[in-house]
């Protein structure tokens, strides 16, 4: 199955839309653009916001969205 190609902004929107639809979502959770200066080949184009940025729900949502969408162009 091929992935839908989307812009970085659209990918980020999909991450946040899926996050908010999940029953484990909490108001403080949000995906945000990655900070400047990271190595894009080794890090995703997004980061996690809020008081618990290592919450496991972020990884679950990122995997789900990553299975359906890919950022293009890289």
- Rounded distance, CA 69 to CA 55, Å? 22
Q: What is the pLDDT of residues 50-62, one digit of tens each?
A: 899 899 999 999 9
Predicted pLDDT at 38: 66
Q: Give CA torsion, residues 26, 27, 33, 36, to 10 deg.
A: -100
Domain count, the chain: 1
- Rounded distance, CA 40 to CA 34, Å? 9
Q: What is the pLDDT of residues 10-62, one digit of tens each?
A: 999 999 999 999 999 999 999 999 887 766 555 578 999 989 989 999 999 99
Task: Supply the range of the domain harboring residue 64.
Answer: 4-71
pTM score over 0.85 = yes
């Amino acid at each position: 199955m091929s992935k839908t190609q989307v812009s970085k902004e659209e990918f980020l929107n999909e991450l946040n839309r899926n996050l908010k639809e999940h029953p484990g979502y909490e108001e403080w959770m949000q995906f945000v653009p990655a900070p400047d200066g990271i190595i894009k080949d080794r890090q995703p184009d997004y980061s996690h916001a809020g008081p618990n940025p290592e919450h496991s729900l972020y990884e679950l949502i990122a995997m789900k969205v990553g299975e359906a969408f890919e950022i293009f162009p890289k």
